[in-house]
Amino acid sequence: MIEIIPAIDIIEGKAVRLSQGNYEQKKVYSEDPLEVAKMFEGHGINRLHIVDLDGAKANRIINYRVLERIASRTSLIIDFGGGLKSDSDLDIAFGSGAEMVTGGSIAVKNPEIFQRWIDKFGAEHIILGADCKDKKIAVAGWTETTDEEVIPFIEKWRRQGILKVICTDISRDGMLTGTNVDLYKKIKEVDPGNYLIASGGIGCIEDIERLEEAHIPGVIVGKAIYEEKIRLKDLAGFMEN
C-alpha cells in the first residue's frame, strides 16, 4: 500500500503552489493553511508534508508558527522542510510539532552537519530531500543545480543511515503532467529497502496507481488536490488497503 502524503507549501503564512519551483509562478490556494490541514485530516489523511518556501530562500526556518498551529490543532504526522540549516532550526521545528524534518541543500553543502543531525536526532526523524533536475541534484530552493547524480547521492546517504528519501523531479513539479515512474523504479532497483517517497508531477489517480504498481512506498500530492484533479474522497481506497 502506498502512503499518501499531501503537501502544503508556505509563503508569508499562506498555502501556495509553485510550478517547477519558480517563485514567480506562485498561486495562493488558502490564506489559512490550518484549514487545509483540517480538510486533509477530515478525509482520513494522517500524514502531511510542509515546505517553508520563505525559509528555503532565507536559509533558516521562517514559518514555524504555521507548523505549530497545524501540529497543535490536528493529529497529523508532519514532516517539515525548507531552509533548515542549523541545529537551532531543527530544535524550533521539532519544538513546533514536526515529527520529521527534511534536509536537501544541507546534505550537499554541509554534509557534516546533516550527518550530525542523523546521529543526534535519530534517522527516523531525518528525511533526505533528493530534489533533481535532469537527474542532477538541485539545491537552494531549486535555484542551483549541482554535478551530483541523484542515485549515487541517495545511496551515499543510505549508507550513512538515512531511512527515508523524498525525491522530487523538479521538471515535473506542479505541472500535473505525470510522475517520473522510471526514475523511481531505478532508485528502488538499486536499493529495494529504501523508503522512497515520490514527488512531482502527480496529476491524476492513475499516476498514484502506477507508483503503487512499481512498489514505491510513498507519494507526495499537492497541486492535483488543490486544482481538484484528484478528489480527496478518491484517495480513500489507498488508505483502506
Q: CATH number of the domain that 23 lies in?
A: 3.20.20.70
Q: What is the pLDDT of residues 126-180, one digit of tens each?
A: 999 999 988 899 887 667 788 999 999 999 999 999 999 999 998 887 788 899 9
pTM above 0.85, yes or no: yes
Domain range for residue 29?
3-240
Q: What is the pLDDT of residues 167-215, one digit of tens each?
A: 999 888 778 889 999 999 999 999 999 999 999 999 999 999 999 999 9
Average pLDDT over residues 102-111: 94
User: What are 194's three cell numbers?
Assistant: 529504501
Res. 240 pLDDT band, cuts 50 70 90: low
Res. 17 pLDDT band, cuts 50 70 90: confident
| Selected residue with higher pLDDT from 239 and 51 | 51
- Domain count of the fold of the chain: 1
- DSSP assignment of 34-80: HHHHHHHHHTT--EEEEEEHHHHHHTS---HHHHHHHHHHS--EEEE
Q: Which residues are catalytic?
A: 9, 131
Give the pLDDT score at 141: 65
Q: Three-state SS for 168?
A: strand
Kindly report the length of the chain: 241
| Selected residue with higher pLDDT from 240 and 160 | 160
- Scanning 59-149, the segments in alpha helix (DSSP H) are 64-73, 87-95, 105-109, 111-121
